[in-house]
């Protein structure tokens, strides 16, 4: 299959719709098979490159505005309210095509009182939902002579097959799959490596009983957070079953344990689920009520997922797939290694810019990423649980509609890294309640009471690391052997940084 990968612009523009500028301009490569699987655009919109083989071009009808690139026109339209957008869309085919773009309607609807109150019916698109249009009230004007990468790109990304990216994982990249793991094995060999545990989730009652139907039956009227909205589970599932967003809205709720009245941990009577023993205790538990957020329910349709990030506060995480399956691609983090291809971080590493949707990233950067040293990949199937070590970059995409639970934690083996993060990067700390004004101090104080030996060991490790780094620095600047004078001092930061998410 890989031998048939060709730049899409080389394909015959007559019989293959998505040829022309859109793929080339994005620097995208795509297999011929996956291009053939893309249906015609429902309005007939085509990539910009097709204008050069057509004698007609609808953009001509917008007069002097045709001088503006489509990207700029799209920015203008973001400022319009729904009735203006609707009226403008009835002036000519070109503007009709633009004003139908669901991204505008998504922003308009998410900010609307209906979305906030949760009292609305999902109608298949953001536009139909915003305007309360039933299926037969939606007209479809033929836009055969609208050529626009800006309009065509999201459609292409929504319909591109994920298969070429998530299968045929090179053996060297494959994430280890383990039946089981002891605490000693985890602490000794595995706490810095991603792995998939194939068994422990199978005994969880939530694994045995949860599916979309069952959840709807019990919790259909409960509101859960999905990015910027709080919708009932029923509304979210309606959306999930009937939408075609390039980046589907992702349910990611940190209050699910209370909302669903779950009991977490084997010590509970009739527990709903428990944490595999290999991960040991979570040292943030010493903070009690003051601990940062740590548990999320994750629900999403196929193609939803998480763009590249590191988990918050230098924590590690596990992610258990209850239904569906997830493709993971991950990179270790170190001060000397760059972020994954296509991901840019600010100098202090506090901001991550990955402006691309998951599909765009796969189309544009996956091939390079796969060849990058350190890259690991794997599919975590139903009933399996994946370990995300502290500091690792990860991108995740759901291969089917999925339900998962994730928890972040501080294992013993990463205590030093977490202390260093909290002390050296206070501006990047996240997930603590506002009244915890000094997370580092509070954590150290609580650790001194419950785990003083472990804490002292972690401080000693940090001192040692700082000492080694100082020696390396001295050697590099040529003052080896001298007492280091003022002017430069090391924190105990290891040089890595951690961006917040989920
Ligand atoms: O399931 C996902 O989308 C991944 C969530 C995530 O990033 C995590 O659990 O750390
Ligand atoms: Fe994550």
The least confident of 14-28, 59-73, 399-413 is 14-28
pLDDT digit string, tens, across residues 435-445: 999 999 999 99
Model confidence at 272: pLDDT above 60: yes
Sorting pLDDT into bands at 50, 70 and 90, what band is 12? very low
Give the number of the atom of ligand 1 that is nearest the alpha carbon of residue 388.
Answer: 10
pLDDT at 478: 77
Residue 456 Cα to ligand 1 midpoint, Å, equals 32
Q: Which domains does the chain have, with CATH numbers?
A: 2-162 (no CATH), 164-412 (2.60.120.650)
Residue 344 Cα to ligand 2 midpoint, Å, equals 17
Q: What are phi and psi of 298, to 5 degrees?
A: -125, 125
pLDDT: which is higher, 191 or 344: 191
Give the number of the atom of ligand 1 that is nearest the alpha carbon of residue 394.
Answer: 7
pLDDT digit string, tens, across residues 391-432: 999 999 999 999 999 999 999 999 999 999 999 999 999 999
pLDDT: which is higher, 495 or 357: 357
Give the number of the atom of ligand 1 that is nearest the alpha carbon of residue 306.
Answer: 3
Model confidence at 348: pLDDT above 90: no
**Which H or E run includes 452?**
helix 452-477
Measured between alpha carbons, how far is residue 330 from residues 134, 206, 273, 310, 327 in Å?
42, 27, 26, 10, 10
Q: State the Cα–Cα distance between residues 225 and 502, nearest whole angstrom.
A: 12
Q: State the Cα–Cα distance between residues 48 and 146, nearest whole angstrom.
A: 8
Percentage of the chain modeled with pLDDT above 70? 87
> Nearest-CA neighbor of 310 among 501, 39, 142?
501
Model confidence at 298: pLDDT above 80: yes
pLDDT digit string, tens, across residues 469-492: 888 888 888 765 554 444 444 455
Residue 125 Cα to ligand 1 midpoint, Å, equals 26
pLDDT digit string, tens, across residues 371-384: 999 999 999 999 99
Mean pLDDT of 198-208: 96
pLDDT digit string, tens, across residues 137-160: 999 999 999 999 999 999 999 999
Measured between alpha carbons, how far is residue 378 from residues 87, 96, 305, 325, 484 in Å?
48, 42, 15, 10, 46
**Which H or E run includes 88?**
helix 82-88
Residue 404 Cα to ligand 2 midpoint, Å, equals 12
Give the number of the atom of ligand 1 that is nearest the alpha carbon of residue 501.
Answer: 7
The least confident of 86-95, 172-181, 260-269, 472-481 is 472-481
pLDDT at 500: 38
- Give the chain's mean pLDDT: 89
Q: Supply the residue whose CA is at minimum distance from atom 5 of ligand 1.
A: 306
Residue 459 Cα to ligand 1 midpoint, Å, equals 30
Sorting pLDDT into bands at 50, 70 and 90, what band is 9? very low
Q: State the Cα–Cα distance between residues 284 and 418, nearest whole angstrom.
A: 10
Model confidence at 133: pLDDT above 70: yes
Percentage of the chain modeled with pLDDT above 90? 79
pLDDT digit string, tens, across residues 71-130: 999 999 999 999 999 999 999 999 999 999 999 999 999 999 999 888 899 999 999 999
Mean pLDDT of 322-347: 89
pLDDT at 36: 65
Measured between alpha carbons, how far is residue 301 from residues 46, 260, 379 in Å?
26, 21, 16
pLDDT at 28: 53
- Interhelix angle for 415-424 vs 452-477, to 10°? 70
Ligand 2 ion: nearby residues, β-carbon < 5 Å: 311
pLDDT at 26: 46
């Amino acid at each position: 299959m890989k031998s048939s990968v060709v730049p899409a612009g080389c394909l015959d523009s007559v019989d293959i719709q998505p040829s022309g500028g859109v793929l080339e301009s994005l620097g995208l490569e795509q297999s011929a098979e996956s291009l053939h699987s893309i249906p015609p655009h429902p309005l007939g919109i085509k990539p910009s490159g097709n204008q050069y083989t057509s004698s007609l071009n609808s953009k001509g009808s917008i007069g002097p505005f045709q001088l503006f690139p489509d990207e700029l026109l799209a920015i203008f339209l973001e400022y319009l309210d729904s009735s203006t957008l609707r009226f403008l869309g009835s002036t000519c085919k070109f503007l009709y095509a633009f004003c139908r773009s669901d991204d505008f309607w998504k922003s308009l609807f998410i900010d609307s009182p209906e979305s906030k109150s949760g009292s609305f019916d999902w109608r298949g698109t953001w536009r139909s939902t915003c305007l309360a249009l039933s299926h037969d009230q939606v007209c479809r004007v033929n836009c055969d002579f609208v050529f626009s990468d800006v309009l065509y790109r999201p459609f292409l990304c929504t319909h591109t097959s994920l298969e070429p990216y998530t299968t045929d994982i090179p053996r060297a990249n494959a994430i280890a799959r383990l039946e089981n793991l002891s605490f000693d094995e985890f602490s000794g060999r595995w706490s810095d490596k991603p792995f998939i545990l194939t068994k422990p989730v199978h005994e969880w009652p939530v694994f045995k009983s949860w599916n979309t139907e069952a959840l709807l039956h019990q919790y259909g009227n409960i509101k859960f957070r999905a990015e910027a909205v709080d919708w009932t589970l029923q509304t979210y599932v309606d959306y999930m079953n009937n939408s075609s967003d390039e980046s589907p809205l992702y349910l990611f709720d940190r209050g699910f344990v209370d909302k669903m009245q779950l009991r977490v941990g084997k010590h509970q009577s009739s527990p709903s689920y428990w944490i595999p023993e290999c991960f040991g205790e979570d040292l943030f538990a010493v903070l009690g009520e003051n601990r940062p957020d740590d548990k999320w329910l994750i629900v999403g349709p196929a193609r939803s997922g998480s763009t590249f990030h590191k988990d918050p506060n230098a924590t590690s995480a596990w992610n258990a797939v209850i239904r569906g399956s997830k493709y993971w691609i991950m990179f270790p983090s170190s001060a000397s290694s760059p972020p994954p291809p296509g991901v840019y971080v600010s100098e202090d590493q506090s901001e991550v810019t990955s402006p691309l949707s998951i599909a765009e990233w796969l189309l544009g950067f996956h091939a390079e990423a796969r060849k990058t040293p350190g890259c690991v990949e794997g599919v975590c199937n139903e009933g399996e649980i994946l370990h995300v070590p502290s500091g690792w970059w990860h991108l995740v995409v759901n291969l089917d509609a999925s339900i998962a639970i994730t928890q972040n934690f501080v294992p013993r083996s990463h205590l030093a890294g977490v202390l260093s993060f909290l002390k050296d990067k206070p501006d990047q700390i996240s997930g603590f309640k506002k009244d915890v004004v000094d997370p580092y101090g509070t954590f150290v104080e609580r650790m001194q009471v419950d785990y003083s030996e472990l804490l002292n060991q972690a401080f000693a490790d940090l001192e040692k690391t700082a000492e080694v780094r100082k020696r390396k620095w001295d050697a590099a600047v040529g003052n080896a052997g001298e007492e280091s004078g003022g002017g430069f001092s090391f924190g105990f930061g290891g040089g890595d940084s951690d961006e917040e998410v989920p």
